[in-house]
Chains A and B, each alone.
Chain A
Amino acid sequence: MILIISQNNEITTTEVIKELIAMGKKFHRVHEDEVFEIKVQQKRIVLQSARSIFFLDEITSVWYRRGGLVFKRLKYTHTAINLNMNETQHWLEDYVRKTLESRKHINKESNAHINKLLVLDKAKELGFDVPDYYLAENTCDVEIGNTVIKTINGNVMLEEIRKNKGGFMYTSVVDEHEEGDFFITFFQEKIEKDFEIRAFYLNGQCWSMAIFSQNDEQTKVDFRKYNKTRPNRNVPYILPPHIEGKIQQLMNCFDLNCGSLDFIKKGDQYYFLEINPIGQFLGMSHTCNYSLEQKIAEYL
């Protein structure tokens, strides 16, 4: 039995499930708002929620996609008892989580969210070309027009920032000096790219796609500003073996066996940008005919 930890409305999960069904593999899909109780039946641990029930020992592989396992914690009125029982419940939950993570898996909840800054430091250490980056609280030392800013956090979306309006923090070129100080911001050298590369990594293997985003004013700084009337041309791409080798080293450093990685190609150089362990890969899978959802289903 395969355990899929994901979100209720996550499209990629459904696509992988279609493959699992075709292969005749059984699975349980856990949603982000599902709360589990840990129970015991005939010496076997059972996980039960409002919509599913399964034995811990029947799970043979786990795919951590998004969301997470949530457990119900009982509270007690006496402070000392509450503290004691809180710890007891913590270790039970820890046992369940670690047992699941010790099974065959694709990514783990415990390390699915990685620190962008640590990843860049490590990538540099491993010998990747990385555009110069630094943190600053003002624009005194910023080269205007030649520097981009990015979020330090992974979530770039702000819901309902104004009434009926959301906000998206794309990679942006700093076009003017800012008066005074601001909160610590991530700055990076802007590279005039030939094209972008998105690579999907799974257990030592890479599938890549070149994105020709540089000829369109809308997409040249951040290809996620999709031009729907005239989309970027995307083609399958093969990264040189030495880059694929470094990708594997980098992923191993963060104990990740699956994820999407972004690169910029300029001349002979491949500039590493970031790893997204829970990134979307369906677009690339369809465009390049890689059937990545099938590869995931096969592994599980």
Chain B
Amino acid sequence: MKKLYKEKNKLPLTFKYIEIFKTKNVSKIHSSMVYSVPSEKYQTEYHVREKPLKQLTRLI
């Protein structure tokens, strides 16, 4: 494993089974793709823009 990651010291076996996934390229993200907005009410800068799922109880 240490050769896989060019490390001098040994790594656990979990590193051999690691699953790689693509991350978003920050330079390609533009304003319409930003999914969160600052919110004073919820005291966060990452309030989710998307509509929440409607709960079953609210549909009945």
| Residues of chain A having any CB pair with chain B under 8 Å | 8-11, 13-14, 17-18, 21, 27-29, 31, 137, 139, 149-152, 158-162, 164-170, 172, 174, 178, 181-186, 225, 286, 289
Contacts and interface: CB of A to CB of B under 8 A. Distances in A.
Given A13-B44, A18-B42, A183-B12, 14 more contacts: A8-B45, A8-B46, A149-B13, A149-B14, A150-B14, A159-B23, A164-B25, A165-B23, A169-B14, A174-B13, A181-B10, A183-B9, A185-B12, A286-B53
B24 to A, nearest CB: 8
B10 A182 contact: yes
B22 A172 contact: no
Given A149-B17, A166-B21, A29 B43 contact: yes
Contacts of A182: 1, 10-13
Given A29-B43, A161-B20, A289-B57, A151 B48 contact: no
Nearest to B5: A161
A184 B46 contact: no
Q: Which 5 A-B pairs have the closest CB atoms?
A: A9-B46, A172-B17, A29-B43, A185-B12, A183-B10
A121 to B, nearest CB: 20
Nearest to A162: B20
Contacts of A149: 12-14, 17
B18 A168 contact: yes
30 contacts: A8-B44, A9-B36, A9-B45, A17-B42, A18-B42, A21-B41, A27-B43, A29-B43, A137-B10, A151-B12, A158-B18, A160-B23, A161-B5, A161-B18, A161-B20, A165-B20, A166-B22, A167-B18, A167-B19, A168-B18, A169-B14, A169-B15, A169-B17, A169-B18, A178-B16, A182-B10, A184-B12, A185-B13, A185-B14, A225-B19
Interface of B: 1, 5, 9-23, 25, 36, 39, 41-48, 53, 55-57
Contacts of A137: 10
B36 to A, nearest CB: 7
Contact of A170 (B19, B41, B48): B19
Contacts of B11: 182-183
Nearest to B47: A14
Contacts of B43: 17, 27-29
